[in-house]
């Protein structure tokens, strides 16, 4: 029951609750999937994490759209991507052509833009634009 109340708090409309519950059911079927983001009508809602060992679900707020947009711009600039190249929250750095040095430069650009300091352990866990944006939001909220 607690899980349903948490879903209702995070996703206030009935249609979204149905989408989230179906998404959670799909996560339960895939044992090696640990984290996923849910996007509905082009809007990213939350990061959904499933701990396969306990089958417990944790819903956390995703980064603000403007944070994701800034991260996309920084990634495009650091990787010298063309204007036509589409970069979104789900974009993986490797798929965009980034190597380990490029990823370090992206993290440095993010630190400079947002006035944060990213620990090496955290930096190594960043693989997508959404990962970076979520980490930025977390670090900014800890600073405040």
Q: Which strands form 56-61's sheet, in the order they lie side by side?
A: 35-40, 43-51, 56-61
Q: Exactly one of 99, 102, 121, 131 is catalytic; name it.
A: 99
Q: Measure the CA–CA gap between 83 and 64, rounded to whole angstroms.
A: 22
Q: Report whether 56 contacts 29 (CB < 8 A).
A: no
Rounded-to-10 torsion of CA 18, 19, 23, 26? 70
Q: Measure the CA–CA gap between 9 and 68, rounded to whole angstroms.
A: 23
Indicate if 134 belongs to the active site.
no
Token duo for residue 54? 């306990």
Reading phi first (left if > 0) and then psi (alpha if -120 to 50, else beta), residue 2 is in alpha
Residue 57 DSSP code? E
Q: Which residues are catalytic?
A: 99
């Amino acid at each position: 029951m607690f899980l349903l109340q948490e879903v209702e708090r995070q996703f206030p409309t009935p249609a979204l609750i149905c989408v989230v519950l179906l998404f959670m059911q799909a996560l339960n079927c895939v044992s090696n999937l640990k984290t996923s983001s849910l996007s509905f009508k082009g809007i990213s809602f939350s990061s959904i994490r499933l701990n396969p060992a306990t089958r417990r679900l944790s819903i956390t707020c995703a980064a603000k759209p403007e944070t994701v947009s800034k991260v996309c711009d920084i990634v495009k600039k650091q990787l010298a991507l063309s204007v036509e190249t589409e970069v979104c929250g789900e974009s993986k750095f490797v798929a965009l052509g980034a190597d380990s040095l490029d990823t370090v430069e992206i993290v440095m650009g993010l630190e400079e833009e947002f006035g944060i300091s990213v620990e090496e352990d955290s930096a190594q866990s960043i693989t997508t634009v959404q990962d970076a944006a979520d980490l930025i939001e977390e670090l900014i909220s800890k600073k405040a």
